[in-house]
Amino acid sequence: MTTYNGSMGQNNIRRLAYFITPHGYGHAARAAAVMNAIGELLPEVWFEVFTRVPTWFFNMSFPTRFRYHELLTDIGLVQTTSMKVNLPETIRQLDAMLPFRPGLVEDLARQVNELGCEMVICDIAPLGIAVAKKAGIPSVLIENFTWDWIYEGYLEQEPRFTPSIDYLREVFASADHHIRTEPACSYSTPADLLTGVVSRKPRTPAALTREKLGVGLHDPLVMVTMGGILTQYPFLDRLRQVKDARFLIPGGSDRYEQRGSLVLIPHHSEIYHPDMVEASNAVIGKLGYSTLAEAYTAGLPYVFIPRADFRESPPLGHFARDTMDAVELSEERFFQGEWIDLLPDLLARPRQKPGGPNGADQIAEYLFTRVSNGVSPV
């Protein structure tokens, strides 16, 4: 499926392909932040987006100047819940996809060439690197981890990951440009650029967002999120009884609802997620890149729930504790609602907005010098 967003009537358009892993929404959020930042520097840019992340996500995050191509670009990890992975099914799907079929790579290379793309940017979708090499155009890898590094953490449980690790390590190493974003999981391989945290930026004043949500300007507002995966929360009845705070729960319902202190909205909401974070006073949820990045950018207290069997969690957790006003909470304690007792202290804490640059702007500046003047990155 291919869909358009924006006008392609200009003759001086600079076209870039973007291959994005469909593993959750965090990588897509990072890609959208980078695309927005590039667009600010290069108004004539047009993106050809290849992924299975739903098109509505990009319509909300990057509303113009892209065309969406539905494509399985990556396997990542098969998840059964927001916190659990299915390793045997992950291996089965990897074995079906890797090594990449030459015919698939050739067809996609022909497509990006016919579209006039000057380079391929990949947010850990290795297929894009292989396609760029076949197409004879530069590839750019943007990552805070690569899949070979993630799969290494499961080798003791599943030695069957070995062929995928070996193959993917070679593909990732072949990228022409390697950009690593903080919080990075590993520094063992060289990178051409190390950036700050990459986050989508809010677009709406907090007062207007609160008005849309039906939340008072001065009401303490706590966002509870487990990322883009539907989750059942056993503590909702208890939260409804809280009188001195409101609770914003993306994905808590398939429509907008208010139930006592609860504000439940669908994942596919008309309200931009970074605006909701900016309008909140604290974030409680799964430890994932985009949730951490948006809480970090907003300077909010962050109660995070690490995934015990995911190798990314310890580095993200260290970053949160070292640079944010963050508290770690186990999955069991989270679902039991024990964090509710932390609310008075949590909501008394001030914002601590970071002073450094947004990594999206650093990436855009790096690529701008290579695209705007028609200079090849390699």
pLDDT of amino acid 10: 52
Cis peptide upstream of residue 99 (ω within 30 degrees of 0): yes
Query: Do the domains at 2-198+359-371 and 206-347 have one common CATH topology?
Result: yes
Which of 11-15, 97-101, 267-271, 284-288 is least confident? 11-15
Work out the pLDDT band at 377, boundaries 50, 70, 90: very low
Q: Which pTM was predicted?
A: 0.93
Give pLDDT, residue 217.
Answer: 95
Residue 378: the pLDDT is 42
pLDDT single digits (tens) 18-65: 999 999 899 999 999 999 999 999 999 999 999 999 999 999 998 778
pLDDT at 90: 97
Lowest mean pLDDT, pick from 48-52, 283-287, 289-293, 368-372:
368-372
Convert 220-253 to b/e letters by CB count within 10 Å (16 or more is b): bbbbbbbbbeebebebbeebeebeebbbbbbbbe
Question: pLDDT tens for residues 316-341?
Answer: 999 999 999 999 999 999 999 989 98
Predicted pLDDT at 267: 81
* % of the chain with per-residue pLDDT over 70: 94
Point out the least confidently predicted range of 79-83, 156-160, 161-165, 194-198. Answer: 79-83
Residue range 347-361: mean pLDDT, rounded: 92
The topology (CATH level 3) of 2-198+359-371 is Rossmann fold (3.40.50)
3-state secondary structure of 221: strand
| 166-183: average pLDDT | 98
For residue 375, pLDDT over 50 is answered with no
Q: Is the pLDDT of residue 92 over 50?
A: yes
Please, is 87 exposed, middle or buried when counting C-beta atoms within 10 Å of its C-beta (0-12, 13-18, 19+)?
middle
Element containing residue 302 per DSSP (H, E): strand 302-305
**DSSP letter string over 239-282?**
HHT-SS-EEEEETS-SS-EEETTEEEE-SS-SS-HHHHHHH-SE
Residue 280 has pLDDT above 90, yes or no: yes
Question: Rounded to 5, what percent of the chain is helix, strand, coil?
Answer: 40, 20, 40
Euclidean distance between the first and final Cα of the chain, in Å?
A: 32
Pick from 190, 186, 100: nearest CA to 150? 186
CATH superfamily of 206-347: Glycogen Phosphorylase B; (3.40.50.2000)
Q: What is the Cα–Cα distance from 160 to 155, expressed in whole angstroms?
A: 7
3-state secondary structure of 219: coil
Contact yes or no for 44/372 (Cβ under 8 A): no
Q: What was the pLDDT predicted at 230? A: 61
Domain ranges of the chain: 2-198+359-371, 206-347
Mean pLDDT of the chain: 92
pLDDT of residue 233: 87
